[in-house]
A and B are shown apart, each in its own frame.
Chain A
Amino acid sequence: MSQGTNNPKAGAGTSLEEGIAEWRCYLRRRQAIHSVDADELEDHLRSQASTLEKAGLAQDEAFLIAVKRIGDLDALSREFAWEHSERLWKRLVVAPGAGAGDAGHGKEALVAVALAVAAAVAIKVPELFGARMQMDQELPAFYVRNVGLLVLPFLAIFFAWKRSLPPLGRLWLAAPFVAGAVAINFMPFASGGHTLALAALHLPIALWLTVGYAYAAGRWRDHDQRMNYVRFSGEWFIYYALTALGGGVLMLLTMFIFSAIGLHPERLLVTWILPCGAVGAVVIAAWLVEAKQSVIESMAPVLTLLFTPLFTLLLLAFLATMAWTGCGIDVKREVLIGFDLLLVVVAGLVLYAISARDPNEEPGLFDALQLLLVVCALLVDTMALWAIAARISEFGFSPNKVAALGENLILLVNLGWSAVLYGRFLAGRVAFTQLERWQTAYLPVYALWAWVVVVVFPLVFGFR
């Protein structure tokens, strides 16, 4: 304000600005009041205050009275909400002109789109060197090996940029990608061998967990950061699935309308649009999760809440049926993989239930339900392992069997100790944070195992 500049009370000018900034801050906490409304109200506040000042009031008094005249903020925001009820449906990135804070947001969108395009280009570059994607043919081996390496670096770059990872951290981040690329491309795998398939399957998992290093801005030892990455991964998965669904609809419609004029764009769709879209969406989904973080309720915990009881019912029904009919588990080749997947789902449900729970809340019914779910899963899995162990000699130790068994054991240990901690928590003996800590402390085990399957397995099993 002009009258405050060459005034002995120059400090009062800043305190007015501070007062207004604080008041705006209160205002902006109301979701029905947008930034432009706050601008308008601020203009009103300043006009009122300066009139009062001209009438002889001190600056702070004028400010206080002006604030008072604008009225109670709760009542005001109710009025705004009544008038703009659509604003209560929190909106995502689309809301334009949400104010000055948006400059960084727009830049982030640009970076995300640029990286998505870069990923889309990267996925097609190998074609120049002969690894052509064809209709009705299997994906070239190059892609099977390298798909994670072609996409996830861009996600890592996005977070390295967004979190301003220091140069040393960037080196640390790049190292696993280089190591993974060397391992999967230069080790003498037998073509079509099991160890190659396993390594190709586990490399993206290993790299995904590596991206967590960039996500946490290098502070990967921090439990809170780890938990945030877990939350991010869940939300990312949901966004990716939704994007994929939309992309599917888009492709179907493209096919339909072009075939109506006698053109058949299948080849273009399958070899260009699909792969480029699929990899670009990886970065875009990550950006959306970051952008909406504070805007929308997390979805993963909601789904967890929905499915925990259902999975518990499923497992109870399975156990009851087994007890009733006396049927043992029929050990076939895929049975171990199936039970691995079951444990992955249960571990995921536990992890996301934990990630969304307020650690200060008292033990409740849902915690008991979680314990029941975990115990059921453990019982079912123990029986499956028992059945498999009895016939392990028949199968021999193939790489697939060892990988499946190892995964099973890793998840079993996690769930076993989770069950113990849940029991203690329900008995009021430990704090909930213990459970959270256990889950986040266990994350590197998954990463380590994935790397072992990528790097150590081929060596041990002679690249079979």
Chain B
Amino acid sequence: MNVGKDLVAASATPLILAILSEGESYGYAMIKRVAELSGGELEWTDGMLYPALHRLERNGFVKAVWGRSESGRRRRYYRLTDSGEEELASQRRQWQVVDSTLRRTLFRSLQLVLQGG
């Protein structure tokens, strides 16, 4: 199963924030982590992560610093800020609303099917 483009775009912000809530990270590691967590079902176009990260940085949800990788390359690390934490909590609640709504409709249609049967 492939997650549709629009949903990938919409879920990027909460996913990035959620991954950063596990600790400081950088672009490539975050993409690997998403693939790992979703069992390979969620595929990001790698490059698109960066503009999204920059947007979050501008909004103050994440903070970026230049550091060094193990091999000594310049690497940009991202960290969740306090307001990022709040945003993540709010996003989680929003997704839960969507999710539970979806579940209820599913439940209802199941009921209908059962009644009909």
Does A219 lie at the interface of the complex (its beta carbon under 8 Å from any beta carbon of B)? no
Which A residue's beta carbon lies closest to that of B32? A51
B74–chain A nearest beta-carbon distance, Å: 6
**Contact at A44–B74, with CB atoms within 8 Å?**
no
Instruction: Render A76-115 as a binary contact track against B, CB cut-off 8 A, 1 for contact.
Output: 1001101110000000000000000000000000000000
The distance in angstroms between the C-alpha atoms of A37 and B47, with both chains bound, is 10
Given contacts A48-B28, A71-B46, contact A43 B51 (CB under 8 A): no
Does A5 lie at the interface of the complex (its beta carbon under 8 Å from any beta carbon of B)? no
The distance in angstroms between the C-alpha atoms of A70 and B54, with both chains bound, is 16
Does B103 lie at the interface of the complex (its beta carbon under 8 Å from any beta carbon of A)? no
Does A127 lie at the interface of the complex (its beta carbon under 8 Å from any beta carbon of B)? no
A4–chain B nearest beta-carbon distance, Å: 12
B113–chain A nearest beta-carbon distance, Å: 42
The distance in angstroms between the C-alpha atoms of A451 and B51, with both chains bound, is 59
Given contacts A39-B74, A43-B69, contact A76 B47 (CB under 8 A): yes
Residues of B within 8 A of A83 (CB): 51-52, 54-55, 58
**Contact at A41–B50, with CB atoms within 8 Å?**
yes
Given contacts A43-B28, A43-B75, A48-B28, contact A71 B69 (CB under 8 A): no
**Contact at A70–B46, with CB atoms within 8 Å?**
yes
Q: Which of B47, B58, B73 contacts A41 (CB 8 A)?
A: B47
Does A134 lie at the interface of the complex (its beta carbon under 8 Å from any beta carbon of B)? no
Q: Which of A1, A39, A80 contacts B51 (CB 8 A)?
A: A80
Residues of A within 8 A of B73 (CB): 43, 46
Q: Which of B28, B48, B75 contacts A71 (CB 8 A)?
A: B48
Does A47 lie at the interface of the complex (its beta carbon under 8 Å from any beta carbon of B)? yes
Does A138 lie at the interface of the complex (its beta carbon under 8 Å from any beta carbon of B)? no
Which B residue's beta carbon lies closest to that of A97? B66
Does A69 lie at the interface of the complex (its beta carbon under 8 Å from any beta carbon of B)? yes
Does A40 lie at the interface of the complex (its beta carbon under 8 Å from any beta carbon of B)? yes
Main SS at interface, chain B: helix
Given contacts A69-B46, A71-B46, contact A44 B51 (CB under 8 A): no
Q: Chain A contact residues (Cβ within 8 angstroms of B): what range?
A: 20 to 34
**Contact at B51–A71, with CB atoms within 8 Å?**
no
The distance in angstroms between the C-alpha atoms of A48 and B46, with both chains bound, is 10
Residues of A within 8 A of B48 (CB): 71, 75-76, 79
**Contact at A37–B50, with CB atoms within 8 Å?**
yes
Does A7 lie at the interface of the complex (its beta carbon under 8 Å from any beta carbon of B)? no
Instruction: Render B58-97 as a binary contact track against A, CB cut-off 8 A, 1 for contact.
Output: 1000000000010101111000000000000000000000
Q: Which of B27, B46, B69, B75 has the most CB of A within 10 A?
A: B46
Residues of A within 8 A of B38 (CB): none
**Contact at A44–B71, with CB atoms within 8 Å?**
no
Residues of B within 8 A of A46 (CB): 73
Instruction: Render B20-37 as a binary contact track against A, CB cut-off 8 A, 1 for contact.
Output: 000000111000000000
Which B residue's beta carbon lies closest to that of A40? B76
Q: Which of B51, B71, B73 has the most CB of A within 10 A?
A: B51
Does A393 lie at the interface of the complex (its beta carbon under 8 Å from any beta carbon of B)? no
Residues of B within 8 A of A84 (CB): 54
Does B115 lie at the interface of the complex (its beta carbon under 8 Å from any beta carbon of A)? no
Does B105 lie at the interface of the complex (its beta carbon under 8 Å from any beta carbon of A)? no
Which B residue's beta carbon lies closest to that of A37? B50
A55–chain B nearest beta-carbon distance, Å: 13
Which B residue's beta carbon lies closest to that of A76? B47
Which B residue's beta carbon lies closest to that of A69? B46
B50–chain A nearest beta-carbon distance, Å: 6
The interface of chain B, by Cβ under 8 A from chain A, is 26-28, 45-48, 50-52, 54-55, 58, 69, 71, 73-76
16 A–B contacts from the bound complex (CB under 8 Å): A37-B50, A41-B47, A44-B28, A44-B47, A47-B28, A48-B28, A48-B46, A70-B45, A70-B46, A71-B45, A71-B46, A76-B51, A80-B50, A80-B54, A82-B51, A83-B52
Closest 10 CB pairs of A and B: A47-B28, A71-B45, A79-B51, A71-B47, A76-B47, A70-B47, A83-B51, A70-B46, A69-B46, A40-B76
Q: 7 additional contacts, CB 8 Å, given A41-B47, A84-B54?
A: A2-B71, A40-B50, A43-B69, A43-B73, A44-B50, A48-B28, A69-B45
